[in-house]
A and B are shown apart, each in its own frame.
Chain A
C-alpha cells in the first residue's frame, strides 16, 4: 500500500514576497492493487502530488511510504507528455526502462495487448499521439512497478481514441494488477476506471471526499450506468471548484 502524508508543499510566490501554499495536510492511503482516481480543479496540484510520490520533487514537508519503506521503490509514471526518447524505437524505449535483461516474451505480450506489435521498430516521431501514449503506458507496466502513476494520460485525444486506450489500459491492469494513482479532470473517466475516486480542493490542495465506485467492472461499458452515477457525483465535483 501507499501512505501519503504531506504536511505542506509550497512554491515561491510569483512577483511578491512569501510562499504559495500548494498542498496542506494531505493524507491519503491507497491499498495494494487499488485503482484510485484523483479528481480536482485545474492547477490544484495533482501533478505536483504525483511528482512527490515519484520522488521527482523532494522539496516538501511530509513523508511517502510505499509498503513499509519510506524510500521509493519501482515507480511507473505515465506523464501527460509521453516523454519517449525520439532517437530510440518503440521497443528500445521500453527496453531502456527495464533494469535487467528485458524478457522478449513479456515485451511481446505488452505490445500485443496495446496493439503496437507492428510498430515496435518505429521511431516515436512517426507515431500518433495516441500511439505514443500507449508506448508510455507499456513502459510503465513493463517495469512491474510497485506504484503506477498516470497523469491525465488520455488528455487531448479524440473521444474514440481515448476510449480505446482506456479499454486497453484496463485490460492490461486486470492482467497485471498494480496500485494505480490516476489523475483526471474527467469524472466519467474516473468512474470508468477507478475503484475509488478522491475529490480534491485547490489552493491548498486537500482531500475533500473519497467515494468508492459501486459499479462492477463488467458493467462499466454501460454508458447509462456510468452517466447515472456521474449525475450523483456532480454536486461533489462542483463543490471542489
Chain B
C-alpha cells in the first residue's frame, strides 16, 4: 500500500501545485493570473493552430545544436585540462573570466559582432555554456583513478580500450552532471537570445506576449517548454543513467 502511494507521489505533488494555482487565481480574480483551465485551453488552441509546435521546434533545434557543440567541445577541453597541469594552469584564468561574464553581455556582443544571425545566436549560447562543461569535466578528469589507469597500462589495453572501458565510465557521472545543469542553463539562455535578436522561437513569442500583457499565452508556452524538458529527462537521461549505474549496489 505504502509502495503504491510512493509511486503516485510525484503525480499527487503536481496536482497539489495546480490546486494551489487554482486557489490563488480564484482569490485574485485577475487577468494577470488566469486559472489553469484557461491556460490549458490556450495551450490546446496553440497546439491545434501549429503555433506552439512551430516555435517550440525552432527553440529545441537551437537547444540541440548549441548544447551538442558545447558538450563536445567542453568534454574534449575539460579532459585535456584535467590531465595536463601546465595547460590547466595557463587556461585557468581564462575559465574564471568566461564563467563570470554575464550571459547578456555575451549575447549582445555576439549580435553586435556577427549581426542578428542564427550563427551569432548559437555562438552566444555555446560561449555561455562551454566554461561550465569544461570545469565539470576537468574535475572528472582530475579525479580519474590512477590505480585503474596503471592497471590499463600494465595490461597494455591500448588507447581505445582504455578510453572506452576505463576512462569513460569514470567520466560518465560528470558528463551527466554537465548535461543536466547544461540543459537547465542553455534553454534559459536561448530564450534570452531569441528575445533579443530572433524573429521566431519561444523567447520571441514570450516577448510578444509580454508586450500584450497576455499572461495566459506566456504560461501556456512556459508549460509546453517545461513539459518537453521533463520528457527529455524522463525518456532519455534517466534511462541512460539507470543503465550506466546498474553495477552499483
Contacts and interface: CB of A to CB of B under 8 A. Distances in A.
Instruction: Determine if chain A interacts with chain B.
Output: yes
A163 interface: no
Given A55-B154, A77-B154, A143-B155, A96 B147 contact: no
B153 A99 contact: no
Select the residue from A54, A86, A143 with max chain B CB neighbours within 10 A.
Answer: A86
A123 interface: yes
Interface string B143-182: 0000110110111110001000110010000000000000
Nearest to A75: B154
Interface residues of A, number: 21
Contact of B166 (A55, A75, A85, A143): A85
Select the residue from B150, B155, B166, B248 with max chain A CB neighbours within 10 A.
Answer: B155
A97 interface: yes
B165 A88 contact: yes
Given A83-B148, A85-B148, A87-B169, A97 B155 contact: yes
Interface of B: prevailing SS: helix
Nearest to B249: A125
B151 A87 contact: no
Interface string A74-85: 110101010101
B154 A96 contact: no
A122 to B, nearest CB: 10
B244 to A, nearest CB: 8
A86 B247 contact: yes
Given A85-B165, A125-B248, A126-B249, A79 B156 contact: no
Contacts of B157: 96-97
Nearest to A54: B154
Contacts of A88: 165, 247
A125 B153 CA distance: 23
Contacts, number: 44
A99 B156 contact: yes
Contacts of A125: 247-249
A85 B168 CA distance: 12
Interface string A56-100: 100000000000000000110101010101111000000011010
Contacts of B156: 74, 99
Contact of A87 (B150, B153, B154, B247): B247
Interface in A36-62: 54-56
Contacts of A139: 155
Contacts of A55: 153-154
The contact size tier of chain B is 10 to 19
B144 to A, nearest CB: 13
Select the residue from B147, B154, B156 with max chain A CB neighbours within 10 A.
Answer: B154
Nearest to B165: A96
Contacts of B165: 85, 88, 96
B247 A123 contact: yes
B247 A79 contact: no
Contacts of B248: 86, 125
A98 to B, nearest CB: 9
Contacts of A123: 247
Contacts of A99: 156
Contacts of A96: 155, 157, 161, 165
Given A87-B169, A88-B165, A81 B154 contact: no
Contacts of A56: 150, 153-154
Interface string B47-70: 000000000000000000000000
A120 B172 CA distance: 25
A75 B151 CA distance: 11
A214 B151 CA distance: 35
Contacts of B244: 87
Contacts of A83: 147-148, 150-151
A81 B147 contact: yes
Given A81-B147, A99-B156, A125-B247, 15 more contacts: A55-B154, A56-B150, A77-B154, A77-B155, A83-B150, A85-B166, A85-B169, A86-B248, A87-B247, A96-B155, A96-B157, A125-B248, A125-B249, A126-B249, A143-B155
5 contacts: A54-B154, A77-B154, A88-B165, A125-B248, A139-B155
Q: What are the 8 closest A-B residue pairs judged by CB atoms, nearest first?
A: A83-B151, A123-B247, A97-B155, A87-B169, A87-B247, A77-B154, A54-B154, A125-B249
Interface of B: 147-148, 150-151, 153-157, 161, 165-166, 169, 244, 247-249
